């Protein structure tokens, strides 16, 4: 009984340690998908008693009392980056290098958005003691300086799964043969050409980060941050010293990988259990769809209305031939001559729709958040990737057997008809999807509980430095100096042996010459 009380006392003590933590939670991107991927953890931490100050462009109407929102302008980065905003489907023609340059430039725009915010300016003027800084591994590295300003541990979260630069700066093994750059477009990443391509884009990104992006981000950060504790570390050093990385990935879907103890997989972190109900009319439509439902949605960033006319006509023609009911996200005014089995809405409660047992196929762009919702629901996916990590995400579903890829430029009636009918009639797709869903959800703890536990672990242990690799130079960490000495010693030994052999041969050849001279 004494042991029992002692255990309870320890548990209560641990909870008290984290109860009053003040957390600065930075999620400034105006892309809704990034906000969706980040905000549930922020709200959950506040609901568990932490004081959370969230820097965000999206306002939560309902939130815990301890959740304070520091609003930044919800201005589209595309509008700031381009004089004429490109159509989203045009971005498929961008090379890897061009797309990366857009992302690099967006990092400077994010700094402006945050520091132009009156809420943030007021927050900085106040005397806050921050216990933890949480932000995303994306292109907002200048904001890592908040961790140095408040001398607080830094927790990083990914919304696109594994992160190449996260692995590099945390000195996690890169594993370039099986871990791929998140924005790569190889159709066969494990092949020789796929691995060669991955090596190239990772090398390109790393060189740009080290010699172009980070030096300029450092200048930008120091322009906004004043009176920082001295000495001021580089942004690369701050990222390398992060206490924890929460990866939006899971080994049940991705290639199994080796991770350091402070890199934790929490794939599906945004998927929140709820009793969300569908509108009555939509619920009736799904319930009465005896032949099943095909659901098309390109999420929040890709607008269906931007489809080229010939592509849209192909979708509608093939949809009209199906016996299934089709739900289609459509952001524009109602269409004329719409097939009777096609139902348009400007927005669907995607998770709730996917969870309905009559949904047989999802057609989407392969964004990781929507893809994980589809996987969790056990629904096959026909993916139309557009940019970013979407190509790699869809290729993963093809390899796992519960998805197919549909290249945008190849969309026509014939290709669509073949792909959709194949996926609706071949039972292997839905059977595999259900198996993948089962293993994706089969964990000792839910993704949210895992993320919260590790975040509070870092708080309890004041940054948990013992989980990090020791501070060493790149040469020492890679053991290059040891290899150089070993090679030098072996080379010296080989050289000495070679010289001895040469001397012995010379001695024997001299004796033979003397014998010949005597005999003659």
What's the pLDDT tens digit per position in 355-366? 999 999 999 999
Is 70 exceeded by the pLDDT of residue 427? yes
Structure token pair of residue 467? 């989980």
Q: What is residue 478's predicted lDDT score, i.e. its pLDDT? A: 84
Q: What is residue 517's predicted lDDT score, i.e. its pLDDT? A: 64
CA dist 103 and 99 (Å) reads 7
- Name the residue among 379, 381, 393 with its Cα closest to residue 433: 379
Categorize the per-residue pLDDT at 19 as very low, low, confident or very high, splitting at 50, 70 and 90.
low
Which is it for the CA torsion 295, 298, 299, 304, positive or negative?
Answer: negative
CA dist 383 and 364 (Å) reads 5
Q: What is residue 335's predicted lDDT score, i.e. its pLDDT? A: 87
> Which tens digits make up the pLDDT trace of 83-135?
777 778 888 888 999 999 999 999 999 999 999 999 999 999 999 999 999 99
Q: What is residue 1's predicted lDDT score, i.e. its pLDDT? A: 44
In the numeric block, the tokens 């991927």 are attached to: 37
Which is it for the CA torsion 407, 366, 144, 82, positive or negative?
Answer: positive
> Which tens digits make up the pLDDT trace of 396-406?
999 999 999 99
Q: What whole-number percentage of the chain has pLDDT above 90? A: 76
Structure token pair of residue 499? 């010289």
Structure token pair of residue 42? 């922020």
**Residue 447 preceded by cis peptide, ω within 30:** no
CA dist 440 and 1 (Å) reads 39
| Residues shown for the chain | 520
Which is it for the CA torsion 165, 170, 174, 180, positive or negative?
Answer: negative
Is 60 exceeded by the pLDDT of residue 471? yes
Categorize the per-residue pLDDT at 303 as very low, low, confident or very high, splitting at 50, 70 and 90.
confident
Averaged pLDDT, 441-460: 96
- Name the residue among 10, 59, 239, 29 with its Cα closest to residue 145: 239
Is 70 exceeded by the pLDDT of residue 434? yes
> Which tens digits make up the pLDDT trace of 365-375?
999 999 999 99
> Which tens digits make up the pLDDT trace of 251-292?
998 888 999 999 999 999 999 876 678 999 999 999 999 999
Is 60 exceeded by the pLDDT of residue 503? yes
Categorize the per-residue pLDDT at 12 as very low, low, confident or very high, splitting at 50, 70 and 90.
very low
Q: What is the per-residue DSSP string for 394-447?
A: HHHHHHHTSEEE--GGG-SHHHHHHHHHHHHH-HHHHHHHHHHHHHHH--SS-H
- Name the residue among 153, 129, 10 with its Cα closest to residue 467: 153
Q: Which helix (H) or strand (E) holds 342?
A: strand 342-345
CA dist 425 and 445 (Å) reads 35
CA dist 109 and 118 (Å) reads 16
CA dist 515 and 520 (Å) reads 9
Q: What is the per-residue DSSP string for 239-308?
A: HHT-SEEEES--TTTSPP----TTEEE-TTTT---------HHHHHHHHT-TT-EEEE--TTTS-GGGS-
In the numeric block, the tokens 């719409």 are attached to: 338
CA dist 284 and 257 (Å) reads 44
- Name the residue among 288, 446, 445, 437 with its Cα closest to residue 354: 437
Topology of the domain comprising 280-441: Rossmann fold (3.40.50)
Does 10 or 407 have the greater pLDDT score?
A: 407
- Name the residue among 421, 296, 414, 420 with its Cα closest to residue 365: 296
Averaged pLDDT, 324-336: 91
Class of domain 21-271+446-467: alpha beta
Q: Are 70 and 54 in contact (CB under 8 A)?
A: yes
Does 31 or 3 have the greater pLDDT score?
A: 31
Is 60 exceeded by the pLDDT of residue 18? no
């Amino acid at each position: 009984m004494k042991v029992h009380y002692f255990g309870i006392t320890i548990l209560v003590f641990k909870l008290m340690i984290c109860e009053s933590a003040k957390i600065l939670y930075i999620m400034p991107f105006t892309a809704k998908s990034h906000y969706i991927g980040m905000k549930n953890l922020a709200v959950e931490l506040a609901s568990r008693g932490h004081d959370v100050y969230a820097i965000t462009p999206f306002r939560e109407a309902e939130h815990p009392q301890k959740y304070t929102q520091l609003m930044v302008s919800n201005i589209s980065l595309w509008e700031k980056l381009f004089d004429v905003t490109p159509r989203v489907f045009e971005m498929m023609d961008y090379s890897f290098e061009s797309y990366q340059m857009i992302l690099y430039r967006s990092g400077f725009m994010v700094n402006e958005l945050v520091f132009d915010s009156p809420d943030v300016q007021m927050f900085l003027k106040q005397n806050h003691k921050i216990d933890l800084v949480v932000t995303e591994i994306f292109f907002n590295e200048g904001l890592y300086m908040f961790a140095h300003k408040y001398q607080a541990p830094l927790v990083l979260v990914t919304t696109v799964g594994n992160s190449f630069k996260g692995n590099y700066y945390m000195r996690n093994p890169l594993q370039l043969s099986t871990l791929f750059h998140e924005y790569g477009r190889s159709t066969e990443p494990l092949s020789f050409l796929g691995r060669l391509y991955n090596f190239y884009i990772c090398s390109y990104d790393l060189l740009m980060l080290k010699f172009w992006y980070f030096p300029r981000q450092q200048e930008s950060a120091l322009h906004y941050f004043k009176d920082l504790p001295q000495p001021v570390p580089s942004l690369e050093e701050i990222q390398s010293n992060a206490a924890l990385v929460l990866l939006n990935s899971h080994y049940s879907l991705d290639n199994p990988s080796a991770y350091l103890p402070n890199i934790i997989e929490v794939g599906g972190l945004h998927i929140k259990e709820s009793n969300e109900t569908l509108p009555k009319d939509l619920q009736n439509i799904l319930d009465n769809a005896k032949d099943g439902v095909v659901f098309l949605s390109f999420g929040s960033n890709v607008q269906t209305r931007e489809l080229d006319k010939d592509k849209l006509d192909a979708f509608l023609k093939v949809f009209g031939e199906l016996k299934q009911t089709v739900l289609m996200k459509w952001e524009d005014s109602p269409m004329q001559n719409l097939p009777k089995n096609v139902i348009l809405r400007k927005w669907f409660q995607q998770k709730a729709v996917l969870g309905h047992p009559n949904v047989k196929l999802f057609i989407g762009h392969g964004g990781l958040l929507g893809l994980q919702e589809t996987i969790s629901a056990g629904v096959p996916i026909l993916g139309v990737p557009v940019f970013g990590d979407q190509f790699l995400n869809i290729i993963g579903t093809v390899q796992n057997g519960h998805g197919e890829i549909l290249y945008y430029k190849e969309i026509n009636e014939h290709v669509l008809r073949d792909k959709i009918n194949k996926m609706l009639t071949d039972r292997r797709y839905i059977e595999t999807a259900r198996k993948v869903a089962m293993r994706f959800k089969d964990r000792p703890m839910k993704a949210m509980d895992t993320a919260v536990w590790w975040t509070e672990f870092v708080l309890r242990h004041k940054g948990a430095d013992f989980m990090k690799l020791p501070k060493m130079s790149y040469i020492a960490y890679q053991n290059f100096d040891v290899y150089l000495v070993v090679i030098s010693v072996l080379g010296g030994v080989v050289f000495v042996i070679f010289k001895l052999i040469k001397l012995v041969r010379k001695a024997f050849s001299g004796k033979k010459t003397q014998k010949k001279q005597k005999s003659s």
